[in-house]
Amino acid sequence: MRVFKVLKKILREFVSFVKGVNQAIIEDSVSALELEHNELEAAFLTMVLGPLVGVATLSPILSLELLEALKNEVKVLESRAVRGEDVLGDLMASLGGEW
Amino acid sequence: MINLVDLLKPIEGAPHVVMVLGKGGVGKTSTSILISSELSRLGKTLLVSFDPAKHILKYLSISRPAEVIKVSDDFFVSQLDIEVSAKELTSKYSSLISDLFPSLSVLNLEDITKALKYAPGVEEEVFLNWLSSAYENKNFRFIVIDTPPTGISLRTLMLPKLYLLWLEKLINIRERIVSLRYVIAKTLGREVKVSDPALIKLYEMREKYGRVKEALTDPSRTSFVVVTNPEPLPMYELREVLKFLGEELSTSPKLLVMNKVLPEDIAVRLGAHEEQKAIIEEFTSLPGRSIMIPYVSNPPSKLEDILRLREAVTVVKGA
């Protein structure tokens, strides 16, 4: 009976361990995906907004045509820019780990 | 008398767009009026002039640019001012910019939209924008365009191809962004919003410019007419236009027009006979249909003068 209890405890701990590892893998993957997503979003907005600030990435009229559909993202970008004083800190945070 | 319509066939597309190209001063406006008047016998025809010199206003005694004016039963005309249209187009977006970038109001937003009007490529954008709506215009059977200077026209004709290239890249990035959003939301068990307004807009734009590109290269929807004079520079420009149409749009003009051909005795007296002869020889050797219009001592100043030119037109190479 005691042996059974010990085994059950070990098994539960093992399951918790596997679940933890799984969660860690998921979180790691999600943060990697989020990083790629944010980078792509920034690249996309730079390409679209470039012509309006003097960077000739594409035609200004194409940018203006797209602007309406990107209203919310532009607002997010602007708020990010306001918070963007600690650029180095942001970069280190996005890379993860201890710095 | 020749039948100009036969020389432009096939003209099935509705509307069928005729673009009259050539160096400034060669007689694009007169040729456009001649062609429009002929086409208007077959159906409702709109002649639109992008000519910065606005000659059409004088020829047709029109005082108001930009409006569509009825010349005769099925012949309508409109003079567009690229600069005014560019201003209209860019000011349309000024409120959106002020909403998105309120901080710019401190820097005087007016200046930004004003500057946008002079941004490189805006004139071409205006022309392309107009062209893409012309292909959708169901009010007219034919639309004849007296084009702006050759540089602007050729760059405009190149734009749909370039835009599609840009849009394809943007769509690739956007699709990746949307799929990443989906995967992240699904993984974290959040609510997933599949539709993306920017991606939808990009697809719409790809379709719009794809349609223009297709129409430009379809001879039943678009006819190119190139006008020249028996002089070296207009001929040089004709060769450039032919090269561009062949290489970039894989098409060729339906009709070549040699305008202002001097009568032989006058050409001899002016010492231009040899040069004119050599240029006309080269012109007649070019492939495709072509016509010649003689020089008239009194330059046409009204519609009747231009329509009278039709009687003097000779066919070099017919259908």
CATH number of the domain at B70, please.
3.40.50.300
The residue that leads in pLDDT, B89 or B106, is: B89
Domain span holding position A26: 2-95
Q: At what angle do helices B150-187 and A2-49 cross, to 10 degrees?
A: 170
Could you tell me what percent of chain B has a pLDDT over 70?
91
Total domains, chain A: 1
Domain span holding position B28: 4-91+122-157+217-317
pLDDT of residue A79: 73
B85 lies within 8 A of chain A by CB:
no
What are the Cα distances from residue B227, in Å, to B25, B176, B294?
Answer: 10, 48, 13
Could you tell me what percent of chain B has a pLDDT over 90?
43
Total domains, chain B: 1
pLDDT of residue B66: 63
B171 lies within 8 A of chain A by CB:
no
Beta-carbon contacts below 8 Å between A and B = 84
Which chain B residues in 187-246 lie under 8 Å from chain A, judged by CB atoms?
A: 187-188, 197-198, 200-202, 205
Mean pLDDT of B76-100: 77
pLDDT of residue B78: 87
The residue that leads in pLDDT, A98 or A14, is: A14
Q: How many angstroms separate the CA atoms of B246 and A93, rounded?
A: 55
Reply yes or no on whether the pLDDT at B68 is more than 80.
yes
Give start and end residues of each alpha helix (H) in B17-121.
28-39, 55-59, 82-92, 94-100, 109-117
Residues of A whose CB is below 8 A from B131: none
The answer to whether residue B266 sits within a structural domain is: yes
In chain B, DSSP assigns E strands to 16-22, 45-49, 69-72, 75-79, 142-146, 222-228, 255-261, 289-294, 314-317
Reply yes or no on whether the pLDDT at B31 is more than 70.
yes
Reply yes or no on whether the pLDDT at B319 is more than 70.
no
Of B65, B95, B92, B93, nearest in space to B77 by CA = B65
pLDDT of residue B170: 94
What residue of A is the nearest CA neighbor of B115? A52
The answer to whether residue B111 sits within a structural domain is: no
The answer to whether residue B76 sits within a structural domain is: yes
Highest mean pLDDT range out of B2-6, B36-40, B91-95?
Answer: B36-40
Q: What pTM was estimated for this model as a whole?
A: 0.81
**What would you measure as the largest C-alpha separation in chain B, in angstroms?**
89
pLDDT of residue B188: 85
Pair type for strands B255-261 and B289-294: parallel
pLDDT of residue A74: 78
